[in-house]
């Protein structure tokens, strides 16, 4: 009854598969959980031509590494991945199956769990073992409430892990045997046809190069109020950025979006104005050296990643801050 | 095209949340509710498709009587009729919720089922995909665009880090819509008037022959998280706070 880590790869620009770096966080979590449950960790990677990646795992502390290979798995499809992983899981019979909470996993994990009569605990941030049972911690209501959840039904138990919840550098070294696993798949099993991946043109704003980023969120309430924050960015000599809702509403172009679906920035100074700090935004900026948050809600999760916070009305605080900075220059 | 769009009602975003005395969920009394934002975009997608291709848009929502308000708002925005499953989902796991929705969708046999990508309350982000599996439908998630073509649809999915991909799919299908799909419309006065005459079919779990229980995943304890790191909060009037902050940024953080 092992702990199985299902890793994620995707084709690099040259077409060869490369790791999604979150995969190693999943390996670290699986090793830790396996130790605590007195069992072993195993890992699987799905695709076509993934044996080279599987061999990279041969030097980690894993009881087995499965290269799940099939030509119908070359491109990701929910149907293909579900059918292949279901066969692997039935063969390996793990106790717990862990995944990185990536966009791809969100697309197929609920289907896989349902097909096997289970419910996956998605986006877990931590775990503990209580009387030999796995208890997972999840965040609700944009991080304002946390819950401990427990699996009520029989194994296997499925969970996906939030980016950054486990540390990839904690992966333990060791020796692992690599096994090729070829699932039974027929072209008719796959109902969707994915086309080429592409990036939008006109991503002309490179926020990653900016030393100072001033980012605006929902708190600004209206497109007409954006200049209040823009003036602060100008005074600081920084780039203006935004959280997702602002770009969704068309108040600023998508190219200025920071977060999991936008750009990832790590400037010297990041000023978050009227941003509550949903995890999708935090993953895009938490590497910043100094973070300032201005928000009217003292319980907003942004204050957890901020170094300095001002709790107050942005329409009063931001103009004063702009004036105070102008005085310096 | 016949479209069923599933909408959940959730507490408004800046609600002050307290833990219920059971210690397993939030205190729901006194909260104000609204349509889950990703679901509002799913409705927007349905209404845009109807404008282009005709057909019918049916709103499906499970929830206690207060959910009627969200259903009426969807009708006022242009949905043709609604199904209200009168059951409180509360902290039900996503499989339990999806079983209720699936039973109601089966009575309609639509061409397309739309859901939001995830809920702002539980945030599992699973109900749509589970619903597809229960209904035996192909699905796509994080959908930004839908184009109807010969023999099916071509959708545009968002991937990570600014990447996208088109996917061709047959119909019927289920799509989990990403926030930002088009611009959300507001109900018009005419829409609100018309909504009053539109049918809302009421069903219970018993009518649908589905048990309301989470058998697989159980919330053991709900709590307000401890703050791992706390920002240094700067007090004072807006002017004082701004001046102190600039001092800190210059001499403590040395970033100015």
Per-residue pLDDT tens digits for B192-234: 999 999 999 999 999 999 988 877 899 999 999 876 667 899 9
Chain A nearest C-alpha distance from B123 (Å)? 6
Q: Is A203 on the interface with B (CB under 8 A)?
A: yes
Within 8 A by CB and 6+ apart from B33, the residues are: B9, B10, B11, B12, B66, B67, B69, B70
- What stretch of H or E contains A328? helix A314-328
Contacts of A107 in chain B (CB under 8 A): 129, 139-142
Contact assessment for residue A106 and residue B141, using Cβ atoms and an 8 Å cutoff:
yes
> Quick check: A318 and A272 in contact, CB under 8 A?
no
Contact A316 B141 (CB under 8 A): no
**Which of A78, A120, A313 is facing B126, going by the closest CB pair?**
A120
Residues of chain B in contact with residue A298, where contact means CB-CB under 8 angstroms, are: 233
CB neighbours of residue A113 within 10 Å: 29
Does A202 or B88 have the greater pLDDT score?
B88
Q: Hey, is the C-beta of B163 within 8 angstroms of any chain A C-beta?
A: yes
Please judge whether A145 and B160 are an interchain contact, meaning their C-beta atoms are less than 8 angstroms apart.
Answer: no
Q: What is the pLDDT of residues B4-54, one digit of tens each?
A: 999 999 999 888 899 999 999 999 988 999 999 999 999 999 999 999 999
Considering only the beta carbons, identify the residue of B218, B249, B253 that sits closest to A150.
B218
Long-range contacts of A202-208 (CB under 8 A, 24+ apart): A202/A255, A203/A255, A203/B162, A204/A255, A205/A239, A205/A253, A205/A255, A205/A256, A207/A239, A207/A241, A207/A256, A207/A258, A207/A263, A207/A265, A208/A263, A208/A264, A208/A265, A208/A266
Angle between helical axes of A103-115 and A78-92 (0-180°, round to 10) = 60
A241: CB partners within 8 A, 6+ apart = A207, A213, A214, A215, A216, A252, A256, A257, A258, A263, A265
Asked whether residue A14 carries a pLDDT value surpassing 80, the answer given is: no
**pLDDT at residue A248 in the model:** 85
User: Which of A102, A149, A196 shows the shortest C-beta gap to B217?
Assistant: A149
**Stretch A20-30: mean pLDDT:** 94
Kindly state the tokens that stand for A117: 């009569």
What are the structural domains of chain A?
A: 3-189 (3.40.50.620), 207-328 (3.40.50.1220)
Residue B230: per-residue pLDDT: 74
Tell me the pLDDT tens digit for each residue of A111-129.
Answer: 999 999 999 999 999 999 9
Mean pLDDT calculated for residue range A175-195 = 96
Nearest to B183 among A191, A197, A250 (CB): A250
**pLDDT tens figures, A146-169:** 999 999 899 999 999 998 889 888
How near does any CA of chain B get to the CA of A98, in Å?
A: 15
Facing B165 at nearest CB: one of A195, A236, A303:
A195
| Global pTM value | 0.87
Q: What share of chain B in percent tops pLDDT 90?
A: 80
* Residue A83 at interface with chain B, using a CB cutoff of 8 Å: no
| Cα-based torsion angle of the residue sequence B239, B240, B241, B245 in order, rounded to the nearest 10 degrees | 100
* Run of H or E including A281: helix A279-282
Q: How confident is the model at residue A204 (pLDDT cuts 50, 70, 90)?
A: low
Q: Return the DSSP state at A256.
A: G
By the 8 A CB rule, do A317 and A295 touch? no
Question: Which H helix or E strand runs over A245?
Answer: helix A244-248
pLDDT at A49 over 70: yes
Bond from prior residue into A156 cis (ω within 30 degrees of 0): yes
Cα distance between residue A109 and residue A267, in whole Å = 34
Q: Does B124 touch chain A (CB under 8 A)?
A: yes
- State the pLDDT at residue B148: 96
Closest residue in A to B242 (Cα) is A321
What is the pLDDT at residue A157?
A: 97
Residues 155-184 of chain A with CB under 8 A from chain B are: none
Query: Could you state, in order of their start, the residue ranges of all structural domains in chain B?
Result: 2-208, 230-256
Asked whether the beta carbons of A158 and A95 are under 8 A apart, the reply is no
Q: Measure the CA–CA gap between A320 and B13, rounded to whole angstroms.
A: 27
Mutation target for A interface from B26, B126, B130, B156: give the one with most A CBs within 10 A: B126
Average pLDDT over residues B122-137: 96
Pairing of strands B217-223, A145-151: antiparallel
Residue B166, pLDDT score: 97
A57 touches chain B (CB under 8 A): no
Q: Indicate the CATH number for domain B2-208.
A: 3.40.50.620
Contact between A193 and A203 (Cβ < 8 Å): no
> Could B241 and A149 be called an inter-chain contact, meaning their C-beta atoms sit closer than 8 Å?
no
User: Which of B217, B248, B250 shows the shortest C-beta gap to A151?
Assistant: B217
Name, in order, each residue with C-beta under 8 angstroms of B20's C-beta and a sequence gap of 6 or more: B26, B27, B28, B222
Identify whether the C-beta of residue A87 lies closer than 8 Å to the C-beta of residue A184. Answer: yes
Q: Residue A308 has which token pair?
A: 């300095």
**Bridge partners of A10?**
A18
pLDDT digits (tens, 9 = 90+) for A72-109: 999 999 999 999 999 999 999 999 999 999 999 999 99
Nearest Cα of chain A lies from the Cα of B242 at a distance, in angstroms, of 5
- Amino acid B237: pLDDT: 95
Nearest residue to B94 via CA among A59, A168, A111: A111
Q: Would you say how long chain A is, in residues? A: 329
A323 touches chain B (CB under 8 A): yes
Dist CA B160 CA A257 (whole Å): 13
Residues in chain B, overall count: 256
At B169, phi and psi to the nearest 5? -140, 150
What's the rounded mean pLDDT across residues A230-252?
Answer: 93
| A202 pLDDT higher than 60 | no
pLDDT at A328: 87
């Amino acid at each position: 009854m092992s702990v199985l880590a299902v890793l994620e790869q995707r084709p690099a620009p040259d077409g060869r598969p490369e790791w999604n770096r979150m995969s190693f966080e999943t390996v670290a979590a699986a090793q830790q959980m396996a130790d605590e449950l007195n069992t072993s960790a195993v890992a699987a990677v799905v695709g076509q031509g993934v044996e080279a990646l599987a061999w990279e795992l041969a030097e980690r502390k894993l009881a087995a590494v499965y290269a799940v290979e099939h030509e119908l798995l070359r491109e990701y499809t929910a149907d293909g991945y579900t059918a292949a992983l279901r066969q692997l899981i039935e063969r390996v019979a793990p106790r717990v199956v862990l995944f990185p909470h990536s966009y791809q996993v969100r697309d197929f994990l609920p289907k896989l769990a349902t097909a096997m009569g289970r419910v996956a605990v998605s986006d877990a941030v931590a775990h503990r073992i209580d009387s030999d049972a796995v208890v997972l911690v999840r965040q609700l209501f944009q991080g304002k409430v946390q819950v401990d959840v427990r699996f009520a039904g029989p194994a296997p138990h499925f969970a996906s892990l939030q980016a950054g919840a486990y540390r990839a550098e904690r992966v333990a070294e060791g020796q692992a045997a690599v096994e090729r696993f070829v699932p039974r798949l027929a072209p008719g099993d796959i109902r969707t046809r994915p086309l080429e991946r592409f990036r939008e043109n006109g991503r002309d704003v490179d926020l990653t190069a900016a030393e100072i980023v001033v980012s605006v969120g929902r708190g600004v309430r209206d497109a007409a109020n954006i200049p209040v924050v823009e003036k602060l960015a100008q005074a600081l000599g920084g780039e203006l950025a935004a959280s997702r809702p602002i770009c969704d509403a068309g108040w600023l172009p998508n190219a200025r979006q920071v977060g999991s679906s936008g750009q990832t920035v790590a400037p010297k100074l990041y000023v978050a104005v009227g941003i509550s700090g949903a995890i999708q935004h935090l993953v895009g900026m938490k590497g910043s050296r100094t973070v300032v948050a201005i928000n009217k809600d003292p319980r907003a999760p942004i204050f957890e990643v901020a170094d300095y916070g001002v709790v107050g009305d942005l329409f009063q605080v931001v103009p004063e801050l702009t004036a105070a900075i102008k005085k310096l220059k | 095209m016949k479209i069923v769009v599933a909408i959940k009602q959730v507490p408004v975003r800046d609600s002050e949340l307290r833990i219920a005395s059971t210690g397993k969920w939030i205190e729901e009394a006194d909260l104000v509710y609204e349509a889950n934002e990703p679901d509002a975009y799913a409705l927007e997608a349905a209404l845009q498709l109807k404008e282009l291709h005709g057909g019918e848009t049916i709103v499906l929502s499970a929830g206690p009587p207060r959910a009627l308000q969200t259903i009426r708002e969807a009708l006022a925005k242009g949905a043709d009729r609604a199904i209200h499953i009168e059951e409180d989902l509360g902290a039900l796991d996503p499989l339990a919720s999806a079983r209720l929705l699936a039973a109601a969708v089966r009575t309609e046999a639509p061409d397309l089922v739309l859901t939001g990508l995830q809920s702002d309350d539980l945030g599992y982000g699973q109900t749509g995909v589970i619903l597809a599996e229960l209904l035996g439908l192909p699905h796509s998630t994080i959908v930004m665009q839908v184009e109807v073509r010969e023999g099916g649809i071509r959708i545009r999915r968002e991937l990570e880090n600014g990447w996208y991909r088109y996917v061709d799919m047959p119909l019927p299908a289920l799509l989990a819509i990403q926030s930002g799909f088009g611009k959300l419309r507001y109900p018009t006065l005419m829409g609100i008037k018309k909504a009053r005459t539109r049918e809302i079919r009421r069903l219970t779990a018993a009518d649908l022959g589905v048990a309301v229980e989470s058998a697989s995943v159980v919330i053991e304890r709900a709590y307000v998280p401890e703050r791992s790191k706390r920002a240094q909060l700067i007090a004072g009037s807006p002017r004082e706070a701004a001046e102190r902050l600039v001092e800190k940024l210059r001499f403590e953080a040395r970033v100015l």
